[in-house]
Amino acid sequence: GRGVHCHGLSEVEVSTAADVLGILEKAQERRRVAETKLNKASSRSHCVFSVSVATAFEHAGALVEKCGRLHLVDLAGSECAKQAGLHEGTPDPSMERERKNINQSLLTLGRVILALQKKSRSSGEGRTPYRDSKLTRILQEALGGKSK
């Protein structure tokens, strides 16, 4: 396949800045939020908006293609169940699951960053746990792959 499967993920071709803004507005509308003790509009998921730009032109009789990718990432914050008020009574099982998923993906992102730091200081050996989270798989090239 084409990589990581994420529910609700879409790829849309745009040609104007207005098209891009329209997609950002749709993403904002779909963003999941819920009230906790700490935050009235707590993000219940991460949001990744990736922009790929490609161009082609002729130079000295040869076709030159250039492409780039920019990721805009809105990370949901980690939450302690007790501080967020999820421990009181019977917590909503979906909110508890969301909290655990958010915390797990943030933990994995931290592990990836630490592994990349260690690689840059040493001979570049060792495993980077990109595959432990959808978020880090999506951002793999930007975090430590072919990014420049």
pLDDT of residue 85: 60
Rounded to whole angstroms, the Cα distance separating 31 from 28 reads 5
pLDDT of residue 2: 61
Task: Give the contacts of 12 (CB within 8 A, at least 6 positions apart).
Answer: 19, 23
* Bridge partners of residue 54, in order along the sequence: 67
What is the amino acid identity at position 1? G
pLDDT of residue 47: 85
Splitting the chain (148 residues) into consecutive groups of 10 residues, what average pLDDT does each group show? 73 90 88 75 82 92 93 82 58 77 91 90 80 90 73
pLDDT of residue 55: 92
pLDDT of residue 7: 76
What is the amino acid identity at position 42? S
pLDDT of residue 59: 94
| 43: three-class secondary structure by DSSP | strand
pLDDT of residue 61: 94
pLDDT of residue 94: 77
Question: Could you tell me the pTM of the whole model?
Answer: 0.72
Residue 89 backbone zone (phi > 0: left; psi -120 to 50: alpha; other: beta): left
